[in-house]
Chain A
Amino acid sequence: MNKKVCLIGNPNVGKSSLFNILTHKHQHTGNWTGKTVENEIGYFDYKNISWQIIDLPGTYSLIGESEEEKIASKFITEKNYDVALVVADATNLERSLTLILEVLDITPHVIVALNLMDEAKKRNIKINVKKLSESLFVPVITTSMKENIGLEELCDALNAEKNTKQKKITHSKKVQNYINWLQPKLSKKESPGEALQKLNNVNFQNKLSSKDQKIMNFYRHYLTRIEIMESYQAYGKKILKEVVNRDGEIEKKEDKIWNFLLTNPKTSLPCFLILFFFLLFLTIYLSNIPSDWLFRFFQSGESILFQIFSFLPKSILEPLIYGGYRTLYWVVSVMLPPMMIFFPLFSLLEDYGLLPRIAFNLDKPFQACGSCGKQSLTMCMGLGCNAVGVTGARIMENKKMRILSILTNVFMPCNGRFPALIAMISMFFIQDKSLIGSILAAFFLLLMILFGILITFLATKLLNYFLFKQDNPIFIIELPSFRKPKVWQTIKNAWKEKAFHVLKRAMIISLPAGLIIYFLSNMQINGMSIFQNLVELLNPIGFFFGVDGVILLAFLLGIPANEIVIPILLLGYTSSNMLVEYESLESLKNILVSHGWTILTAINFMILSICHFPCATTILTIKKETKSWFYTFLAIILPTIIGLFLCFLLNIFR
């Protein structure tokens, strides 16, 4: 038998965790509001019933106006499911209860999962679950995702659900008047909650008679959303009085210490900087060795591959190995280790609840630029992948701030550019690979990221000044309490996700790109390779900006994926003599230096690496998210101009 269940609940109460546990999926969960922005679908079987499970974005109510809230309320109102599983927060039942009541006002097929019970117990909040279940007429199952408690009971309740009795919620007089007026005009199946949903539904209003439209218009101004919420709230309060007892509530100790350090005005910013620095240091220090190791391993594979495929003609084998395979293994050995260290650690901090605190601390500077602290969250996502950061900009409250964070996201060096920066730093600035060298390198990388942040501020301010006139900033976010993450599971998930991501992209982008570049650099026109022809064309332009044609061409050819920029550089420089063997990552420097690279070239390269057009995936995502060619064009042109301008400035003072 096939059945559908949807997960609905306030943001950050563990819906995604429940979803992952039930479906054995590894959708990343984070301890902050707005992690899930789209419906996620999964499947699981329990005792002869196959369930399809839909994870809706977190929402506080069904009459909200943000994108995610609309997605969730539309799904609930359409009733295309067998059970609505409301995930409630035991530490803040006051808030969860209004949503439960709203859902109950629409459908009787409801089960409540009272999550974070362990947390509530720790804080000594007493909840009478039996009483709650009795007053709501639906099963209430206490769960704790962290300790996998209550899952079986939850599944049993799902399988057994066949409630048909609609719960009658007593509304305030004003709300009830409206419902009484509208309900006769609706079909019998439609519940009071749906009548309330219709209040702001334009399509529905157009179907009414002109007289009713006038009355509807009246109600729209007369009955505010707040009053509707207050009506649910008032009803909920009566229930809560007998269910929740907060008299003995205590604050968690770790919350106190962390809150003191991370939100104390004097210590918070230094604390975040030190934390981030430490993160970068570990990434650099720990990834040196596996990087070299992978490099040597793949390199020794070259000759083995030659032997195995010796039956192929040289004209096919050489492009495959010198072009495809070399690009592939360079990308993998340079990208994989830092990603495998940085992202698990970053996810741990994220799960712990750090990101909203960064947003809180940085709100003021963002405010001065016309945006809000939440932009720093999209920037953190951008560190992983700019396309994700662009999609993540949906958490911004209004269109203006959303566009601002989309257009400036590229200034955060993503996954594909991050290792290139590390490689540049260790080649040209800090060759020492000891502990001290790593500390210096991490410091250098931190400076580069701070540079990216500074450019983000400036660009945001600039865009805000020229593009937007109206100003209606909202910055009201929740600071979730610190939660101890499931350490091993988080690391494992991040590894799986990142390893898969890096390897997949290496296969589908770097391998073919390597082949194309090989051909470009080996096919001759006018006695020079095509690649060389293009380089000659770009050389005079590059001269203005302190770089050469190869670098410019590498960025241009790197549009499909930023991670192939450095391989293109190398292939470009070594194309005249493909037999150059790179003994180790360090010997790359000699190749670059022999082609006229100086420290200034390296700096220019790093600036351009941070400030240039986004990769193809990101450009497409920007088009999709903004639905505007203008903004897409702007997102391409703005960082490029800024990057070239900065290089130009540096070059004047050479």
Chain B
Amino acid sequence: MLKTVADLSLSESGIIKEIHLEEPKYFKAFHLGVQKGNKITCLFKSPFKDPIAYKINGCVFTLRKIDAEKIWVSAYE
């Protein structure tokens, strides 16, 4: 079952399956590791719950909630 990365709880991981970000956001996110098949982990949230920090391949980066809702992952064992 797929869910968005915005729904990942802290330190939960998922495998990226679908990305519905539009250009140029997608292009930017792509370089930080938002690519199909990569493992993404939710690390922490800002004091206002948005944006959220994620980790892919050891790179930590931030996504706003509205963008995080456009990235779909499957559960990671």
Chain A contact residues, CB within 8 Å of chain B: 10, 60-61, 64-65, 91-92, 94-95, 98, 123, 125, 224-226, 229-230, 233, 246, 249, 259, 263-266, 268-269, 360-361, 363-365, 367, 373, 397, 473-481
Is the CB–CB distance between A224 and B44 below 8 Å? no
- Closest-by-CB residue of B relative to A229 is B30
Give how many A-B residue pairs fall within 8 Å (CB-CB): 106
A249 contacts B58, C-beta separation under 8 Å: yes
Q: Tell me the bound Cα distance from A642 to B53 in angstroms.
A: 36
CB neighbours of A92 from chain B (8 A): 57-59
- Is B62 within 8 A of A263, CB to CB? no
Known contacts A268-B46, A474-B28, A476-B25; A363 and B59 CB within 8 A of each other: no
Per a CB cutoff under 8 Å, which of A64, A123, A268, A479 touches B62? Answer: A479
User: With contacts A249-B58, A259-B44, A476-B62 known, what are 16 further pairs, Cβ within 8 A?
Assistant: A64-B27, A92-B57, A98-B31, A125-B58, A226-B27, A229-B30, A229-B31, A264-B44, A268-B47, A360-B46, A360-B53, A364-B46, A373-B51, A476-B63, A478-B60, A481-B60
For B61, give the chain A residue with the smallest CB separation.
Answer: A478
A95-B31, A363-B50 given; A225·B23 CB < 8 A: yes
- Which residues of the other chain, B, contact A259 by a CB distance below 8 angstroms? 43-44
Q: Do A94 and B23 touch (CB < 8 A)?
A: no
* B41-77 near A? 1/0 per residue, CB < 8 Å: 0011111111101000111111110010000000000
Measured CB to CB, the closest approach of chain B to A136, in angstroms, equals: 19
- What's the minimum C-beta distance from B39 to chain A, rounded to whole angstroms? 10
How many residues of B are in contact with the other chain, CB < 8 A? 31
Residues of A within 8 A of B53 (CB): 263, 360, 479
Q: Which B residues are in CB contact (< 8 Å) with A263?
A: 43-44, 46, 53
Contact status A123-B58, CB under 8 Å = yes
The residues of A that contact B64 with a CB separation of less than 8 Å are 363, 367, 473, 475-476
Contact present for B46 and A363 (CB under 8 Å): yes
Q: Cβ of B62 and Cβ of A65 under 8 Å apart?
A: no
C-alpha gap A578/B46 in the complex (Å): 56
| Residues of chain B with a CB closer than 8 A to A269's CB | 47
A-B contact pairs, 21 of them (CB 8 A): A60-B28, A60-B31, A61-B31, A64-B27, A95-B33, A98-B31, A224-B23, A225-B23, A268-B47, A360-B53, A361-B47, A363-B64, A373-B51, A473-B64, A474-B28, A475-B64, A476-B25, A476-B32, A476-B61, A476-B62, A480-B60
Which one of B24, B33, B49 lies within 8 Å of A65 (CB-CB)? Answer: B24
B29 touches A476 (CB 8 A): yes
CA distance A10 to B53 in the complex (A): 20
Q: Residue B4 at the A interface, CB < 8 A?
A: no
Q: How far is the CA of A363 from the CA of B48 in the complex (A)?
A: 9
- Chain B residues contacting A10 (CB-CB under 8 Å) are 31
CB-based contact B25/A474 at 8 Å: yes
A479 surroundings in chain B (CB, below 8 A): 53, 60-62
Give bound CA distance, A229 to B27, whole Å. 9
Known contacts A61-B31, A265-B45; decide if A474 and B60 are in contact (CB<8 Å): no
**Which of chain B's residues have a CB closer than 8 A to the CB of A230?**
35
Q: A11 CB to closest chain B CB, in angstroms?
A: 10
Contacts of A397 in B (CB 8 A): 24, 28
Tell me if B23 and A265 are in contact (CB < 8 A).
no
- In the complex, the chain B residue whose C-beta lies closest to that of A265 is B47
Say whether A365 contacts B24, CB under 8 Å.
no
Q: Which 6 A-B pairs have the closest CB atoms?
A: A364-B48, A60-B31, A479-B60, A265-B47, A263-B44, A478-B61
Question: Is A478 touching B35 in the complex (CB atoms < 8 A)?
Answer: no
Q: Once the chains bind, are A477 and B58 in contact (CB under 8 Å)?
A: no
CB distance from A397 to the nearest CB of B (A): 8
Residues of B within 8 A of A365 (CB): 48
Cα distance A360–B64 when bound, in Å?
10
